[in-house]
Amino acid sequence: MYLCLIALTFASCAVSSLTPKSNEVKLKSSLGNIQGSLMHDIFGSLVHDSNNIAEGNGAYLREQLLQQNEHSPISFPFKLNQFQYPDIDDLTDFKQPGPLFSGIVTFAHLPEDECFFAREPMDIAIVGAPFDLGVSYNSGARFGPNGARQGSRRLRGGISPIRGNSRSSKLRGIDPYNSGLKLIDCGDVPMTPFDSRIALNQLYRGQHAIHKHPSFNSTQFNNTRIVTLGGDHTVTLMNLRSAYETFGDPGGLAVIHFDAHIDTWDPKVLGGGISDYASLNHGTFLHFAAEAGYVAKNHSVHVGIRAPFISGTDEKHDAVDCGFKTFTSKDVDLYTAKGIAEKIKTIVGQRKVYLTFDLDTFDVGYINSGTLEAGGLSSREILTILDGLEGIKLVGCDVVEVSTAPNTVNSASTELLAAQVVDSMLGLMTVFDQPE
Ligand SMILES: *[C@@H]1O[C@H](CO)[C@@H](O)[C@H](O)[C@H]1NC(C)=O
Ligand SMILES: *[C@@H]1O[C@H](CO)[C@@H](O)[C@H](O)[C@H]1NC(C)=O
Ligand SMILES: *[C@@H]1O[C@H](CO)[C@@H](O)[C@H](O)[C@H]1NC(C)=O
Ligand SMILES: [Mn+2]
C-alpha cells in the first residue's frame, strides 16, 4: 500500500510539472478506480482530492481529532480521512509555536532584538562573545555562543521539577521565561578574530551599550542585567568591568568563579614572558580584574579547582593579593554539593554578585573546553550547587570556554550543559527579582 502511495505521489508530481493544465483531468482518470479503496479512505484527501477542506481555520487541530475518535480509539487510523485539512492558503497554524528543533535559533526561543543602537527597556539580555584568542591550549570557544543557543532549544518548556534543593525553595515554582521579567537575546557582539585587544574592547563597548538599557519590569534594578555566552574566559574581564561600572559597590563585586583553574595567574608567568599584549589571556584575566578593583576581596570564591599551580607562589597570590577563597573539586565530596552552596553564600553575604562559569568545572567526560581537567564535577552536582545559591544578588553572569568547534568530541553535551547552566543562572536572577 505504501509503495503504491509513493508511486502515485511521484506520478502526480511528474504530471503536474510537465503539463500543469491537463493535471486535473489526468489525475481524475488515473485515480478513478481507487475510490473506495483502503488507501483512499486513509490518505485520499492528503494526496489527491480536495473534498475535505475545512471551512474556517486550523481544521485538523487536536481537539477535533480527539472528538472524532473519543468513542473508538481503535478505529483511529481508518477515520483519518474524515478530518479536514485547512484551505491551501490558510497558514494560521504556522503562527503557533513550531517544533523545538525548527526556526532560527535564539537562546531558549527568546525574542531577539537589536540591542546596541536601540534603547528598549529589558530586564535580562543574553549576548554572545564569540572569541577564543586568549586560550593557552584548546581553541574553539568562538563557536560557543551559537553552541549554547543550539543546546537551549528544549528550554523554556515550563517549570522544572528539580529546581531548588528543598520543597520550600522559591526556585521550585519559578519559570524564568514567564516571570514578568523581559528577556531578550541580543545576538553576538561582533568581535574581530585578528586582534584580541580590539576584540575585547568591542566586547566592553557592547556590554556597556546593553547595560545602558533601562530595566522593564525589575523590582531590583534600573538597568538591564546581562548573561554572556562565551567565548574563552578572557571575555569575563570586559563583562565584569561593565557590570561593576553599572551596578558595582565601591568594594567591588563578589565574584563566584566556577573553574578547574584559578585564572589569577601572574601575567609575568603565564604569557607575559612573550609580550605585554600576551599577558592578558584566559588564565590571567582574574588577576587583572582584582588589580582593577572589580573583585570584592575576601568575598569572592573559586569552585571546582583541581588544575596544578604553575609556581609555588600562585596559591598565596590568589588568596592574599587577589582575595579569593577556594573550594576544590574534592571539597564537594567533603561538604556535599548543598553544603558548598551554603558556604559560598556565607562568603558573598549581602554583596552584589557576578557569577562566571568555566565549562571545565564539569568533568572531562561531559564536555569539550579550553583546558580539560580530570576529576571534575558531575552535571547533577553542579546544578545542585547553582540552585543552592538561591537568594544571592546576581547582577551579571557568563558561561565561558564553551568549545563547540565543528566536529569536536562532546559538542552536543557541551552545548546542552552550557545552556543548562544559563538556565540555572536565569532561575537565580529571577528568584531574586520576584516581588515577595
Ligand atoms: C510586569 O510585572 C507585573 C507585576 O509583577 C505583571 O503584572 C505584569 O504582567 C508584568 N509585565 C509583563 C509584560 O510581563
Ligand atoms: C532606581 O532609580 C530610582 C529613581 O531614580 C532610585 O530611587 C532607586 O534608588 C534606583 N534603584 C537602584 C537599585 O539603583
Ligand atoms: C582579607 O582577609 C585577610 C585575612 O583575614 C586580612 O588580613 C585582609 O585585610 C582582608 N582583606 C580585605 C581587603 O578585607
Ligand atoms: Mn577559566
pTM above 0.75, yes or no: yes
The answer to whether the CB of 247 is under 6 A from ligand 2 is: no
Task: Give pLDDT tens digits for 375-414.
Answer: 999 999 999 999 999 999 999 999 999 999 999 999 999 9
Asked whether residue 88 carries a pLDDT value surpassing 50, the answer given is: yes
Task: Give pLDDT tens digits for 258-311.
Answer: 999 999 999 988 887 788 889 999 999 999 999 999 999 999 999 999 999 999
Q: Which of 178, 181, 217 to mutate for ligand 1's pocket (most ligand atoms within 8 Å of CB)?
A: 217
Looking at the domain that runs over 108-432, which CATH code has it been given? Answer: 3.40.800.10
Task: Give pLDDT tens digits for 10-29.
Answer: 333 333 333 334 344 444 44
Q: How far is the CA of 242 from the centre of ligand 3 (A)?
A: 25
Q: How far is the CA of 240 from the centre of ligand 3 (A)?
A: 22
Closest C-alpha residue for ligand 1 atom 14: 180
With a pLDDT cut of 90, the percent of the chain lying above it is 69
Asked whether residue 422 carries a pLDDT value surpassing 90, the answer given is: yes
The answer to whether the CB of 221 is under 6 A from ligand 2 is: yes
Closest C-alpha residue for ligand 1 atom 9: 180
Q: How far is the CA of 298 from the centre of ligand 3 (A)?
A: 6
Residue 421 CB coordination number (10 Å): 27
pLDDT value, residue 44: 66
Domain positions in the chain are 2-94, 108-432
pLDDT value, residue 271: 81
Residue 194 CB coordination number (10 Å): 8
Residue burial 351-378, b: 16+ Cβ < 10 Å; e: rest: bbbbbbbbbbbbbeebbbbbbbbeebbe
C-alpha cell at 225: 542585567
Instruction: Work out the average pLDDT over 46-57.
Output: 61
DSSP element (H, E) containing 183? strand 183-188
